[in-house]
């Protein structure tokens, strides 16, 4: 999902970057004018971390457009982390019965839950780095019994996954203002972007492989 969204955003930028920048500009100018404007996307990211809400990618693009690459990434990482912690506790204490029913009735959910339980910390990081939506993996982690501290460390270590989408907003700003970063900055940014995309794809492949292996045991138990 994340890879598809990022691809669509990249295509839109290539074709309609001026129109997209014009659409983002009013919100960008308004938030820049506020002393604590960065708290706005943090609050929005917290709220939309609870399914079935969505829109992290749009907010991340806006943050990159308004605050640039590194500040924008920091804002997105903070808002996402706070939202995921809230999501974690909501599912652990309010949605456990629903999760148990899903695990009984939906084979792929059962495979993912089993993979999480058996994989521990490594699977937690890999799953969060994959293209699986963050709020979905958080729900599985919470109801599968993962320790909150393991979850927090995994969430922090996997936060660079959000770098690519923030970078899309930076590109929009550069396209509109016709300003070009120095060669060194461009090389660093492009390298990190490429690594982020590669890790996301590789993590997705690894999780899928583990889920296929877990399916054998899930079928036997049923």
On the question of pLDDT at 204 being above 90, the answer is no
Q: 98-137: buried (b, 16+ CB within 10 Å) or exposed (e) per residue?
A: ebeebbeeeeebbbbbbbbeebeeebbbbbbbbbbebbeb
Q: What is the mean pLDDT of residues 163-179?
A: 74
Predicted pLDDT of residue 141: 87
Q: Where are the domains of the chain?
A: 2-221
CA distances to 61, 62, 97, 168 from 68, rounded to whole Å, are: 10, 9, 42, 10
Residue 170 banded pLDDT, cuts 50, 70, 90: confident
Residue 15 banded pLDDT, cuts 50, 70, 90: very low
For residue 29, give the DSSP letter.
H
Residue 1 banded pLDDT, cuts 50, 70, 90: very low
Is pTM, for the whole model, over 0.95? no
Could you give the angle at the alpha carbon of 197 between the alpha carbons of 169 and 83, nearest 5°?
65
In tens, the pLDDT along 55-111 reads 787 888 888 888 888 899 999 999 999 999 998 998 888 877 877 787 787 888 888
Is-contact 176 17, C-beta < 8 A? yes
On the question of pLDDT at 38 being above 60, the answer is yes
């Amino acid at each position: 999902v994340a890879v598809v969204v990022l691809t669509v955003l990249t295509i839109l930028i290539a074709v309609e970057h001026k129109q997209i920048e014009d659409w983002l500009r009013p919100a960008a100018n308004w938030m820049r004018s506020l002393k604590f404007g960065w708290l706005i996307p943090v609050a929005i990211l917290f709220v939309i971390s609870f399914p079935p809400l969505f829109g992290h990618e749009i907010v991340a693009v806006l943050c990159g457009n308004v605050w640039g690459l590194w500040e924008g990434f920091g804002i997105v990482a903070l808002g996402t982390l706070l939202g995921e912690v809230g999501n974690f506790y909501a599912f652990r204490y309010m949605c456990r019965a629903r999760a148990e029913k899903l695990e009984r009735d939906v084979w792929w959910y059962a495979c993912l839950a089993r993979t999480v339980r058996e994989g521990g910390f490594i699977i937690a990081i890999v799953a969060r780095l994959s293209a699986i939506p963050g709020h979905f993996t958080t729900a599985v982690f919470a109801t599968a019994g993962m320790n909150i501290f393991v979850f927090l460390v995994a969430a922090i270590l996997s936060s660079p996954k959000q770098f690519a989408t923030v970078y899309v907003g930076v590109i929009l700003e550069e396209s509109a203002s016709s300003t070009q970063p120095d060669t060194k900055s461009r090389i660093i940014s492009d390298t990190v972007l490429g690594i982020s995309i590669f890790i996301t794809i590789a993590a997705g492949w690894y999780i899928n492989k583990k889920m296929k292996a877990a399916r054998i045991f899930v079928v036997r138990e049923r």
